[in-house]
Amino acid sequence: MSHTPGRKEKDCLNCGTIVAGRFCQNCGQENVVPKETFWHMVTHFFYDITHFDSNFFITVKDLLFKPGFLSKEYMKGKRMSYLHPVKMYVFTSAIFFLLFFSFFLDIKNISDDSQKLTPVERSNLLRRVKAGLLKDSTNKCLKDGLSVLEDTSLILTKKDVRFIDTCRNKGVYVNFAGKYKSFEAYDSSQKKLPKDERDAWFGRLWKKTTINIEKKFNENPDEALKKLIESILHRLPYMLLISLPFFALILKLVYTRRKQFYYADHGVFTIHLYVFSFLMLLLIFCFDKLSKVTHSELPDVLIFLSLLWLNVYLFKAMRTFYGQSWWKTFLKFLIVALSSLVMMILLFLLITFFSAVTL
């Protein structure tokens, strides 16, 4: 309710209905004078913010410490004391990705070739070079790489990994396209085949895409890789948004015999779970930053416990919301966890491929 003075007239300025109280029973508009002072605007803004904050913190408290409680309350119709699930998802995901891209993500370090190799990375690279020499013992580039790797006095970087891997693949950094170096060569080869043996529309699209990807990576592998990583990361919000209805569908199929739960109910449960996951991931990223700064083992332990709590939280939320026995919930938890993992992997592969296509 605003603190703007009410109107003496009882006709609603929005729909014309005669208002019985302060609010129109037809459209819900408050029957107040339309002109307000600047001070009224400031106080209205203040009241709206504090009201939002109170609802937000009450919702967060119950979300964090009462798994499944908010979703159950929403189904009962108790909604005025909490933020709407969709509004909370939009707000929390916006804050999460803002902080993620601003403070926690360092693309330069992801694709930085100047980073020094760890002993484990050096050992793995040495193993790959030796395996390459077994297949091609005359490869001078690999021989030179082997001598460099065996010289422990030399400091190697990730750029050396790229260089030696390129040698091992005989100059081909990515080899998606097989024997075809251009789409024209592939198209010419297809025309020589009988019509019934030629690739279909999707096959031609796939081949054209992979040839273009390979060409870009071979021309400038470092820049192409950096752009690919950036493209994938910036599509993660869309991937999570797309995954929401699929996760709700998994729950719908797992609890198909519980007729009292509609698809929208599973959707509300999913949204609350995702919001909780956003908050926990922010906490995990903070622990990771702390680990890099302090070089202590405690943040790593806290990260492990946080990831463990994510799984425990899902189990407890399912137990509370769906109200089934411990062993039934545990069995369905395993099915949901495995199915959602497969779903996320497939969506990530799809996002990765789309990112590569539009590179």
pLDDT tens, position by position, 100-122? 888 877 655 555 555 677 777 77
Report pLDDT for 13: 83
Of 176, 286, 295, 170, the C-alpha closest to 224 is 176
HSE, side-chain direction, 13 A CA sphere, residue 277: 13
Q: Which ranges of 77-152 does DSSP label H, i.e. alpha helix?
A: 85-99, 107-110, 119-135, 140-150
Of 46-60, 61-75, 223-237, 254-268, the poorest mean pLDDT is in 46-60
Report pLDDT for 172: 34
Pull the structure tokens for residue 113: 């070739």
Reduced to 3 states (helix: H, G, I; strand: E, B; else coil), residue 30 is: strand
70 and 62 Cβ atoms separated by less than 8 Å:
yes
Pull the structure tokens for residue 151: 């010289």
For residue 172, the tally of other CB atoms under 10 A from its CB is: 14
DSSP state for residue 101 in the 8-state scheme: I
Instruction: Name the one residue in this structure whose structure tokens are 């709590």.
Output: 309
DSSP state for residue 195 in the 8-state scheme: G
Q: Work out the pLDDT band at 65, boundaries 50, 70, 90.
A: very high
Q: Work out the pLDDT band at 158, boundaries 50, 70, 90.
A: low
d(CA 155, CA 161): 12
d(CA 178, CA 227): 23
pLDDT tens profile 209-227: 777 776 666 656 666 667 7
pLDDT at 2 over 60: no
pTM of the model: 0.67
Q: Work out the pLDDT band at 311, boundaries 50, 70, 90.
A: very high
The β-bridge partners of 6 are 32
Of 346, 336, 290, the C-alpha closest to 313 is 336
The β-bridge partners of 116 are 157
